[in-house]
Structure 1
Amino acid sequence: MTGTRTSERTADVVIRRLSAFRKISAEAADRLEHLVRGRVIVAAPGQELSCEGDPADRIRIVLTGWMARYKALEDGRRQIVNFALPGDTCDALIYLLRRMDHSIVCLTPVTFAEIDREHFEIFIASDRTLAEAFWCETLSNAAIQREWTMNLGRRDAFERVAHLLCELIERLRPVGLWDGHACAFPVTQLDLADATGLSVVHVNRTLQELRSSGLIVLRDRMLTVNDLDALKSAALFNPDYLHYVALE
Structure 2
Amino acid sequence: MKPLLTSLERHFDLLSDERAAIEALREAPLVRVPARQTMLSEGDQQSVVRLLSQGWAYRFKDLPDGRRQIVGLLLPGDFFDLKVRLGDEMDHSVAALTPLAYHAIPPETLDRLSAEHPRIADALARHEHVNGAIHREWLLNLGRRNAFERLAHLFLEVFLRLRAAGLARGGECDCPLTQNDLADATGVTSVHLNRTMQELRREGLVELKSKRLFIRDYDRLAQIAMFNPNYLQLGREARALVR
TM exceeding 0.5: yes
User: Pick from 140, 155, 162: which aligns with 1:150?
Assistant: 140
Deviations 1:195-247 (A, max 9, x none): 11111111111000000000011111111113212211111100001123353
Contact 2:84–2:107 (CA under 8 A) maintained in structure 1 = no
Runs of 5+ consecutive residues of structure 1 not aligned to the other structure: 1-10
Q: Counterpart of 1:42 in structure 2: which amino acid?
A: R
| 1:126-161 deviation line (CA, Å, top 9, x unaligned) | 111111111111111111111111101110110000
Q: Offset of 1:96 from its aligned partner?
A: 7.3
Measured after TM superposition, the shift of residue 97 of structure 1 is 6.8
The alignment partner of 2:3 has SS state of helix
Structure 1 residues 247, 56: closer, same or farther in 2, change over 3 A? farther
Deviates more, 1:146-155 or 1:96-105: 96-105
- State the TM-score, normalized to the length of structure 1: 0.91
Q: 2:221 aligns with which of 231, 234, 245?
A: 231
The residue identity in structure 2 corresponding to 1:102 is H
Residue matched to 2:54:
64
User: TM-score, length-normalised on structure 2?
Assistant: 0.93
In the aligned structure 1, how far is the partner of 2:45 from the partner of 2:190? 33
Residue 212 of structure 1: aligned partner? 202
SS in 2 for 1:90: coil
Q: Deviations over 1:36-87 (max 9, x none)?
A: 2242111110122211111132211111111001111122211111100011
Partner of 2:12: 22
Partner of residue 241, structure 2? none
Q: 1:21 touches 1:247 (CA, 8 Å); kept in 2?
A: no
Amino acid at match of 2:2: D
Q: Residue 3 of structure 1 corresponds to which residue in structure 2?
A: none
Partner of 2:34: 44
State the one-letter code of the partner of 1:135.
A
Q: 1:95 aligns to what SS in structure 2?
A: coil
Residue 5 of structure 1 aligns with which residue? none
How many percent identity over aligned positions?
40
Distance 1:234 1:223 in 2: 18
Runs of at least 4 residues off by over 6 Å: none
Q: Give 1:6's aligned residue.
A: none
The structure whose RCO (Cα within 8 Å, separation 6+) is larger is 1
Paired amino acid for 1:233: Q
Q: Which residue of 2 aligns with 1:7?
A: none
Letter of the 1:144 partner, please give it: I
Whether the 8 Å CA contact 1:17–1:88 is kept in 2: the answer is no
User: Does the Cα contact within 8 Å between 2:205 and 2:221 map onto a contact in 1?
Assistant: yes
The 5 A counterparts of 1:51-90 are 51-90=41-80
Q: Partner residue of 2:131?
A: 141
The range that moved more, 217-226 or 202-211, is 217-226
- Residue identity matched to 1:115: I
Partner of 1:199: 189
Q: RMSD across aligned C-alpha pairs, in angstroms?
A: 1.5
Amino acid at match of 2:189: S
Separation of aligned partners in 2, 1:246 and 1:42: 34
Match of 1:103 in 2: 93
Q: Distance in 2 between matches of 1:55 and 1:246?
A: 38
Identify if the C-alpha distance between structure 1 residues 172 and 214 changes in structure 2 by more than 3 Å, giving closer, same or farther: same
- Structure-2 separation of matches of 1:110 and 1:13: 14
Distance 1:21 1:180, change over 3 A: same
User: What's the CA shift for 1:119?
Assistant: 1.5
Aligned positions, number: 238
